[in-house]
């Protein structure tokens, strides 16, 4: 049953002509408003996740709930259809339940706040924002338990609820929410920071209506949606071939932390008339653990649009307008559409891998525009416990790795594929948490060789100074970040724990609650980006510089057919090596995955990684599928 | 005023100056030469000279405080060696004023030499020493990739200013609390350092991990480096930026090293030339990014503080001139060819921030909170094929080929072309400027956009102006609304080549009245240079919860910082009784990342202590972010700011020359506004008199700038030569 919107003003909007200049001005005004929302949030939030790493996303939508400016697509339309209650001036809704909002947020840590904006008694817009809370309760600190079998183990579930009613904060509700986390102070500040950002959006929307008039403002928003639709329509025609030319691509996440994997995600892309169809049939079944990703179809459309339109008009305010032109099918019970109450907290790997999948799909039509596989993840490091004085400490940190080689150039070393994310300064960590960062450096040779080198991964050496527990969520320890157009794959991730007595343990990619003692050092090594283009064509001088800069070793330079001895290039040997390598190699495939088949990969798993290969996942009856 | 009156006035001024000079020669003679060389010339009686070097003109302003007079001069800049232009200017202004160069005791100078070094990538080859395990600190930076989803597809990171191949690691380690964890291994370091210092580097940066807590190892490495290579300047991170955050501190110190040789050479040459012309006692001071003044030596040691010296001069000048006209709350709006700088001034004080940004480079050095948008007269308008939107900038036609209307080969439509089409920049009147303007080429360029949009040329031109104005409103919002200020409480002062063209329209968008158009946009910066006070600060990162600290301990630390900061002023000849002291405490809720800076006078701190600071913080937090928390407070840093007392200098023309401006009228023109052509007068700025009223629409021209008064607005010339623009009938216009 759709929500009942209470308006004191019954006048209807009139769609009016908006001249193109006014339209562009409204667009700029909304862009500024969104930037201001970010600025207010980052300045006032407390958790390092939001404040330093910017794990939060704002949007402004029109009165129907269609996103006009923002990043993650609008879930508001769906919310308005599904919410059984009233929507009134002064209300603000909160939810973190992926299953109640069709995956608008995809795990419980993301608190989503939605505010209807009224003007003169009429619903005129929406503002919404979600942010990643460091802890929302559940079985482990950080609320991201790898081994959760049901969502109930991952923390408190908040269905869509009015946390403000008639402008009044429902303190008792907020109290319940805060009482269920290990970090109430952080969550409280983050909560109010998000509210402050929404209030700012509200002020801006009202100012715009006063400035342009209600009808012009509403019509301008509609025009912006239409404009996106027209633009995306043209792009879809341009980059997706019609009919029989179906593009297919598959990629994997390596395991589910419970011994199963790799999990395949597969997608077929084709066009029927105006409409681009993405069909995820062939993807693997949902997991017993928490790596499932409830992928909202609208959000996927958003990823697709944002990714492609950037190339044509980077200044455009990207929005929901083109959604009719894209059709997304995800079979129920697969790992991208798990059934309740499947656990979801560790969906970060799939959320990232979707971008490799999309790049591989779209790039087949235009290999020159194709990027290699990059740092398609946000690996987590968590460390918590009680320190010597009995005070609780809890750190949640996101790691960074190699941006892939791209047509535009080399991939930066140790950077983020997600917009706005930044690392936490190590001096800050040492001042506030019981640890030391002994080493923070790029890993030489970890980026895939190519005409454009893949970016290197990072090694972080965490020296832990208190007895406590460490949890890790990472991936690409088994499959490789692939290279393209002759570029080689990047190096995989790995982790080693060196105990204070000098003994070494390999640490699995996904694990919870590893007990650590003062003096233990964890080496957290992220993966590199894939290479782009033929490494044998890379400028020898560039390779020499990479060696001088410590980004490539002398041994690693040989992958480029370049012989460097004590910093100096041996040109004769280089020429000879390049000739030999050219003669010996097979025809270069479009994609170089670094393995022949999953079976072949599994056969060398133990030898190469020190871990037993995971078991192939199977569909089970309880998912309602055969 | 007739020409004869002018001549008489000039004659009287010269006479006065001559008498003044005689008087001073007499007093100077009573002081021995010896003393004059030892102590810097006193700032109290001598002539102060402000110098601003722009791309085209070098502007000078001579302040004669004793006689309450000032003189200005404008000479062509000499980009190859700007000191030549400066000296030409000094020659000219001394002639105008009838004084000897040696009568000038202080030269204040805003310079863009550091900025340009960064923008043109022409700095030194910098070597870097980091802590073991941290050599990639600049390579990894903050892992941030600009742009939205997929922004990484097109972004290429620029190379670190200290190349990795010239970066070495020292085996040493400090703890966050400042204790030595691993002592410095001097032996191994010396070997690496000897190699590095002979590899061709021109400057060295030492930036060690946790050095903000203890910089003993940094200092030791600097010593060793000086032993090995005394000619290579060394910058250490804790000296340049004694604050937490290893990447920011390293980057800031590397930038310091990067611009240091160029700035040192420039300042040293200029100082020597000035001494040669004006005598050994001359004091040269350089305007810093934060609007304070630095001694020449300070500028050479920490040039990273000069990156915004140029814009700071503009803001300081705007502030000074507006203060004379009794406006203390200002939005400054400085629009040039490629970009626009805006800043906010409240109660006569420009807001500063702890960060400076130039091009891709961001450093932690205090600067006036100037926000820059890539919107200027040269910004190019275009219509993307797919979306049919009208976009303006950030691409700019630059100086070459420049806007189409300048006839230098530019074909794409720019903001300047749109201004020509609309008649805001008249093509049929010229006043001494060098730029020839072609109306036809402007129309032709704008037509390309108009056709793509299906609009008339005038409508498209107006669209370009409205969109570029909207971009600039965004910048004004960042400094005002986003910081919790209401733009309606501020006047808007427009300067720079294009500022006076757009200021009226901007003020209408943000409701900031009046618009102040000061005379001579270039001279404005020189005003800023000449009137700025000497300022120094000392700061310290000090992270501690308020509950864990006593008032007297903080008091003691602030006093120590005060003494450090004050010493530099004493060295510059500013005695203690002429110093003003301000404490600043960086504070936040425990766990927050941002911090707010709370200003407090020493007397006030003695009374209200830390509690007063926390209350102040809660109030400001509420104002900025709409909420305060009952969370614990945490102090992050302490700072003492010491500056010399402000000079008051007024030189109004209080005579009212009547409201009628007909004497300044040049001829009629037409301008396009809101879809219609209107008749308007073009006025000659130099002929406007105090009290003149100009009814909009009107165009006011002077040598290097043109001002537009829109219809339904009125411009009133005040006693200082400013044009104040108000909406017609505005309630405050009569005051």
Q: What is the DSSP letter of A511?
A: E
Question: In chain B, what are the domains?
Answer: 3-116+267-306 (3.30.420.40), 121-264 (3.40.50), 320-375+470-531 (3.30.420.40), 379-464 (no CATH), 535-644 (3.30.1490), 662-714 (no CATH)
Which residues of chain A have a CB within 8 Å of the CB of B629?
188-189, 192
Contact predicate B531/B293, CB 8 Å: no
Q: Tell me which of B244-258, B420-434, B675-689, B717-731 is least confident.
A: B420-434
Check residues B376 and B450 and name the one with the higher pLDDT.
Answer: B450
Mean pLDDT of A405-428: 92
| DSSP calls for A71-92 | SS---HHHHHHH--SEE-TT-E
Confidence of residue A443 (pLDDT cuts 50, 70, 90): very high
pLDDT 10s digits, B117-145: 888 888 999 999 999 999 999 999 999 99
pLDDT above 90: percentage of residues in chain B = 41
Tell me whether residues A408 and B543 touch, CB distance under 8 A.
no
- Predicted pLDDT at B555: 92
**Minimal CA–CA distance to A136: which of A113, A154, A148, A163?**
A154
Query: What distance in Å separates the CA atoms of residue A97 and residue A374, rounded to the nearest whole number?
Result: 30
pLDDT 10s digits, A280-327: 999 999 999 999 999 989 889 988 888 787 666 666 677 888 999 999
pTM above 0.80, yes or no: yes
Mean pLDDT of B612-639: 83
Tell me whether residues A426 and B209 touch, CB distance under 8 A.
yes
Among candidates B157, B384, B589 on the partner chain, residue whose Cβ is nearest the Cβ of A313: B384
Contact predicate B269/B240, CB 8 Å: no
Confidence of residue B496 (pLDDT cuts 50, 70, 90): confident
pLDDT 10s digits, A450-508: 999 999 999 999 999 999 999 999 999 999 999 999 999 999 999 999 999 999 999 99
Q: Examine the predicted complex and report whether its ipTM is higher than 0.95.
A: no
Tell me whether residues A371 and B153 touch, CB distance under 8 A.
yes
Tell me whether residues A439 and B462 touch, CB distance under 8 A.
no
- Predicted pLDDT at A170: 97
- Predicted pLDDT at A624: 47
Confidence of residue B356 (pLDDT cuts 50, 70, 90): confident
Check residues B395 and A288 and name the one with the higher pLDDT.
Answer: A288
Query: What distance in Å separates the CA atoms of residue A313 and residue A97, rounded to the nearest whole number?
Result: 35
Quick check: B243 pLDDT over 90? no
Residue B393: closest C-alpha in chain A: A315
Contact predicate B633/B589, CB 8 Å: yes
Spatial neighbors of B454 by CB under 8 A, at least 6 apart, are none
Q: Per mean pLDDT, which of A141-145, A241-245, A578-582, B567-571 is the most reliable?
A: A578-582
Quick check: B387 pLDDT over 50? yes
pLDDT 10s digits, B517-576: 998 766 777 777 777 777 777 888 888 889 888 888 999 999 999 998 898 788 777 788
Residue A545: closest C-alpha in chain B: B165
Mean pLDDT of A499-521: 96
* Angle of the B3-30 helix axis to the B82-97 helix axis, nearest 10: 100
pLDDT 10s digits, B41-93: 344 457 889 888 876 678 888 888 777 777 888 787 787 777 888 888 999 99
Q: Tell me the Ramachandran region of residue A373: left when phi exceeds 0, alpha when psi lies from -120 to 50, beta otherwise.
A: beta
Q: Tell me which of A106-115, B294-303, B380-389 is least confident.
A: B380-389
- Predicted pLDDT at B25: 40
Query: What distance in Å separates the CA atoms of residue A75 and residue B646, rounded to the nearest whole number?
Result: 57
User: Using CB atoms within 10 A of its CB, is residue B550 exposed (0-12), middle (13-18) or buried (19+)?
Assistant: exposed
- Predicted pLDDT at A384: 95
Quick check: B597 pLDDT over 90? no
- Predicted pLDDT at B483: 67
- Predicted pLDDT at B35: 30
Contact predicate B466/B303, CB 8 Å: no
Check residues A588 and B431 and name the one with the higher pLDDT.
Answer: A588
Spatial neighbors of A572 by CB under 8 A, at least 6 apart, are none
Among candidates A32, A52, A408 on the partner chain, residue whose Cβ is nearest the Cβ of B154: A408
Quick check: A575 pLDDT over 80? yes
Mean pLDDT of A592-603: 96
Residues in chain B, total: 735
Query: What distance in Å separates the CA atoms of residue B525 and residue B515, rounded to the nearest whole number?
Result: 18
- Predicted pLDDT at B8: 45
Confidence of residue A625 (pLDDT cuts 50, 70, 90): very low
Confidence of residue B333 (pLDDT cuts 50, 70, 90): very high
Quick check: B28 pLDDT over 50? no
Q: Tell me which of A121-130, A452-461, A586-595 is least confident.
A: A586-595
Quick check: A350 pLDDT over 90? yes
Query: What distance in Å separates the CA atoms of residue B643 and residue B538, rounded to the nearest whole number?
Result: 12
Confidence of residue B27 (pLDDT cuts 50, 70, 90): very low
Among candidates A24, A414, A548 on the partner chain, residue whose Cβ is nearest the Cβ of B165: A548
- Predicted pLDDT at A604: 96
Quick check: B444 pLDDT over 70? yes
pLDDT 10s digits, B699-717: 998 877 889 999 999 999 9
Quick check: B7 pLDDT over 50? no
Q: Tell me which of A518-532, A547-561, B211-225, B396-410 is least confident.
A: B396-410
Whose tokens are 């109010």? That residue is A192
Tell me whether residues A27 and B389 touch, CB distance under 8 A.
yes
Contact predicate B467/A28, CB 8 Å: yes
**Minimal CA–CA distance to A236: which of A284, A270, A281, A199?**
A270
- Predicted pLDDT at B340: 87
Average pLDDT, chain B: 84
Structure tokens, A594: 């670094």
Which residues of chain A have a CB within 8 Å of the CB of B621?
44
pLDDT 10s digits, B659-696: 788 888 988 999 999 899 999 999 998 889 889 999 98
Mean pLDDT of A182-203: 91
Residue B182: closest C-alpha in chain A: A438
Q: What is the least distance, in Å, from the CA of A493 to any CA of chain B?
A: 18
* CA geometry: angle A495, A498, A504, nearest 5 deg: 85
């Amino acid at each position: 049953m759709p929500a009942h919107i209470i308006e004191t003003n019954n006048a209807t909007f009139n769609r009016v002509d908006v001249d193109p200049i006014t339209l562009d001005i409204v667009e700029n005004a909304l862009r500024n408003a969104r930037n201001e929302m970010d600025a207010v949030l980052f300045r006032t939030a407390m958790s390092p996740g939001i404040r330093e790493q910017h794990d939060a996303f704002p949007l402004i939508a029109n009165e129907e709930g269609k996103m006009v400016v923002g990043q993650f697509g609008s879930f508001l339309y769906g919310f308005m259809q599904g919410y059984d209650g009233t929507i009134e001036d002064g209300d603000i809704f909160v939810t973190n339940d992926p299953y109640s909002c069709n995956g608008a947020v995809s795990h419980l840590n993301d608190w989503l706040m939605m505010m209807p904006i009224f003007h003169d008694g009429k619903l005129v817009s929406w503002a919404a924002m979600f942010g990643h809370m460091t802890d929302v309760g559940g079985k482990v600190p950080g609320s991201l338990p790898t081994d959760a079998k049901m969502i109930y183990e991952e923390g408190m579930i908040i269905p869509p609820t009015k946390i403000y009613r008639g402008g009044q904060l429902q303190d008792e509700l907020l109290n319940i929410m805060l009482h269920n986390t290990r970090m109430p102070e952080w969550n409280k500040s983050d909560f109010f920071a998000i509210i402050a950002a929404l209030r700012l959006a509200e002020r801006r929307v009202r100012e715009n209506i006063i400035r342009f008039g209600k009808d012009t403002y509403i019509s301008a928003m509609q025009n912006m949606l239409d404009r996106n639709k027209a633009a995306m329509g043209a792009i879809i025609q341009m980059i997706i071939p019609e009919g029989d030319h179906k593009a297919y691509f598959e990629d994997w996440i390596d395991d589910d932390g419970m011994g199963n994997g790799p999990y395949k995600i597969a997608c077929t892309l084709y066009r029927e008339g105006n409409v681009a169809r993405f069909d995820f049939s062939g993807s693997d079944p949902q997991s017993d653990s928490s790596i499932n990703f409830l992928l909202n179809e609208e959000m996927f459309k958003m990823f697709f649009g944002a990714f492609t339109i950037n190339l044509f008009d980077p200044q455009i305010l990207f929005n929901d307008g083109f959604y009719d032109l894209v059709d997304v099918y995800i079979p129920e019970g697969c790992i991208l559409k798990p059934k309740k109450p499947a656990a979801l907290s560790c969906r970060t790997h799939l959320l990232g891998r979707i971008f490799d999948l999309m790049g591989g799909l779209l790039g087949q039509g235009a290999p020159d525009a194709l990027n290699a596989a990059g740092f398609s993840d946000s690996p987590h490091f968590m460390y918590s416990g009680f320190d010597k004085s009995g005070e609780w400490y809890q750190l949640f940190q996101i790691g960074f790795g190699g941006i892939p080689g791209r047509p535009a150039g080399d991939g930066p070393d140790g950077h983020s594929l997600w917009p706005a994310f930044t690392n936490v300064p190590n001096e800050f960590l040492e001042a506030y948490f019981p640890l030391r960062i002994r080493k923070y450096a790029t890993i030489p040779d970890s980026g895939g060789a190519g005409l454009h080198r893949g970016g290197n991964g990072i090694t972080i050496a965490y020296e832990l100074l208190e007895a406590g527990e460490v949890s890790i969520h990472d991936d690409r320890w088994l499959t490789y970040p692939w290279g393209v157009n002759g570029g080689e794959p990047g190096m995989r991730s790995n982790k080693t724990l060196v105990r204070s007595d000098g003994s070494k343990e390999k640490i699995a990619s996904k694990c919870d609650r590893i007990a650590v003692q003062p003096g233990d050092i964890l080496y957290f090594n992220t993966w590199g980006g894939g290479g782009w283009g033929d490494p044998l064509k890379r400028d020898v001088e560039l390779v020499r510089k990479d060696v001088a800069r410590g980004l490539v070793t002398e041994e690693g330079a040989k992958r480029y057919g370049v012989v460097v001895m004590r910093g100096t290039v041996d040109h004769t040997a280089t020429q000879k090596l390049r000739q030999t390598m050219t003669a010996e190699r097979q025809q270069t495939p479009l994609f170089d995955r670094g393995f022949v088949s999953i079976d072949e990969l599994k056969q060398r798993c133990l030898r190469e990684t020190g871990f037993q290969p995971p078991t192939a996942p199977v569909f089970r009856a309880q998912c309602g599928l055969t | 005023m007739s020409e004869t009156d002018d001549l008489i006035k000039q004659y009287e001024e010269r006479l006065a100056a001559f008498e003044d000079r005689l008087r001073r020669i007499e007093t100077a003679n009573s002081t021995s030469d010896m003393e004059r060389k030892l102590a810097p010339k006193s700032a109290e009686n001598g002539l102060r000279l402000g110098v601003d070097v722009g791309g085209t003109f070098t502007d000078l302003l001579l302040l004669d405080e004793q006689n309450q007079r000032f003189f200005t001069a404008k000479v062509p800049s000499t980009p190859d060696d700007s000191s030549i232009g400066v000296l030409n200017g000094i020659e000219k202004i001394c002639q105008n004023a009838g004084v000897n160069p040696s009568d000038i005791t202080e030269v204040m100078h805003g310079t863009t030499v550091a900025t340009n070094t960064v923008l043109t990538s022409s700095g030194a080859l910098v070597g870097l020493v980091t802590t073991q395990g941290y050599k990639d600190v600049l390579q990894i930076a903050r892992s941030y990739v600009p742009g939205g989803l997929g922004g990484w597809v097109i972004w290429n990171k620029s190379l670190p200013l200290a190349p990795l191949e010239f970066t070495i690691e020292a085996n040493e380690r400090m703890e966050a609390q400042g204790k030595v964890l691993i002592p410095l291994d001097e032996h191994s370091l010396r070997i690496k350092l000897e190699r590095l210092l002979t590899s061709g580097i021109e400057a060295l940066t030492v930036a060690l991990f946790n050095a903000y807590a203890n910089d003993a190892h940094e200092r030791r490495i600097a010593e060793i480096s000086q032993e090995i290579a005394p000619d290579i300047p060394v910058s250490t991170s804790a000296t340049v930026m004694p604050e937490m955050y290893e990447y920011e501190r390293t980057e800031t110190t590397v930038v310091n090293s990067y611009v240091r040789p160029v700035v040192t050479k420039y300042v040293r040459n200029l100082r020597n030339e000035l001494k040669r012309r004006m005598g050994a006692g001359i004091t040269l001071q350089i305007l810093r990014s934060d609007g304070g003044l630095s001694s020449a030596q300070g500028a050479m040691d920490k040039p990273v503080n000069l990156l915004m010296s140029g814009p700071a001069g503009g803001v300081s000048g705007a502030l000074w001139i507006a203060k004379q006209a009794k406006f203390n709350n200002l939005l400054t709006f400085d629009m040039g060819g490629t970009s626009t700088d805006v800043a906010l001034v409240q109660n006569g004080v420009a807001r500063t921030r702890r960060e400076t940004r130039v091009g891709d480079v961001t450093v932690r050095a205090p600067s006036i909170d100037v926000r820059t948008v890539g919107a200027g007269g040269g910004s190019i308008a275009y219509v993307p094929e797919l979306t049919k939107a009208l976009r303006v900038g950030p691409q700019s036609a630059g100086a070459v080929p420049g806007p189409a209307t300048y006839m230098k080969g530019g074909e794409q439509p720019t903001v300047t072309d749109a201004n020509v089409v609309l008649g805001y920049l008249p093509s049929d009147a010229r006043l001494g400027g060098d730029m020839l303007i072609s109306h036809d080429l402007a129309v032709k360029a704008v037509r390309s956009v108009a056709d793509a949009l299906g609009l008339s040329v005038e409508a498209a031109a107006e669209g370009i102006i409205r969109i570029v104005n909207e971009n600039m409103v965004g910048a004004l919002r960042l400094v005002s609304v986003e910081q919790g200020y209401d733009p309606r409480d501020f006047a808007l002062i427009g300067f720079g080549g294009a500022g006076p063209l757009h200021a009226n329209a901007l003020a209408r968008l943000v409701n900031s009245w009046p618009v102040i158009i000061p005379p001579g946009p270039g001279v404005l910066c020189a005003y800023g240079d000449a009137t700025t006070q000497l300022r120094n600060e000392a700061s310290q990162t000090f992270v501690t919860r308020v509950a864990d600290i006593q008032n007297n301990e903080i008091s003691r630390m602030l006093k120590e910082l005060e003494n450090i900061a004050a010493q530099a002023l004493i060295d510059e000849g500013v005695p203690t009784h002429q110093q003003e002291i301000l404490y600043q405490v960086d504070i936040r809720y425990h766990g927050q990342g941002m911090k707010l800076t709370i200003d407090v006078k020493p007397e006030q701190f003695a009374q209200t202590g830390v509690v007063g600071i926390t209350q102040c913080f809660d109030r400001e937090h509420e104002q900025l972010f709409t909420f305060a928390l009952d969370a614990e407070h945490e102090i992050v840093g302490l700072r003492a700011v010491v500056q010399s007392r402000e000079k008051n200098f007024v030189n109004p023309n209080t005579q009212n020359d009547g409201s009628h401006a007909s004497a300044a009228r040049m001829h009629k023109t037409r301008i396009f506004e809101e879809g219609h052509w209107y008749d308007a007068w073009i006025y000659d700025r130099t002929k406007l008199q105090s009290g003149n009223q100009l009814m909009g629409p009107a165009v006011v021209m002077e040598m290097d700038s043109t001002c537009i008064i829109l219809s339904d607005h009125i411009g009133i010339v005040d006693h200082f030569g400013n044009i104040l623009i108000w909406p017609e009938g505005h309630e405050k216009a009569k005051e």
